[in-house]
Amino acid sequence: MRRLLDFLYDSAAALAALFMVGLLGMVLLSIASRQFHFHVPGTDAYAGYLMAASGFLALAHTLKRGEHIRVTLLLNFLKGGAKKAFEIWALTIATLLAVLFAVYSCKLAWQSHEFHDISTSSDATPLWIPQIAMAVGTVILAIAFLDELVLEMMGKRVDASSGEALRNE
């Protein structure tokens, strides 16, 4: 199961990186079109869709690597059972919020599909297409938070705090 979850997080991150390369392509195409006096409609909108997809798909991988911003001021003062209880409480709240975020993101994409909602920009893209990346990213984030919660309750959670983040606090 651990390998499957890690594969899920890594695959979402790889897809986020691919979308980021696509974003670079859209920006370069936009710059080139201005320099060489030709117009490619929708480059700005597609750049925005790709940026959103990159951000949402990278959320779970970032969480599992300990790169999300955490306020550790209170945690540093707690020891033993109190620290574990606080971690479980925080992860439970985060999991519930992530599940709500995932449910409503999926609902948004579904409603956009049902209502045939399209972008108001010149590209007229059906909005459910770019919203799929947000829905998938939030579902994977909810799974990652649940994974962290279960690991903490079992006492197997490894603090993946980044050394770089510690130097910047």
pLDDT at 167: 46
Residues whose CB is less than 8 angstroms from the CB of residue 75 and which lie 6 or more positions away in sequence, other chains included = 83, 86, 87
Q: How many CA atoms lie within 13 A of 37 on its CB side?
A: 0
Q: How many CA atoms lie within 13 A of 123 on its CB side?
A: 16
pTM of the model: 0.87
CB 30: neighbour CB atoms within 10 A? 16
The pLDDT confidence band at residue 169, using thresholds 50, 70 and 90, is: very low
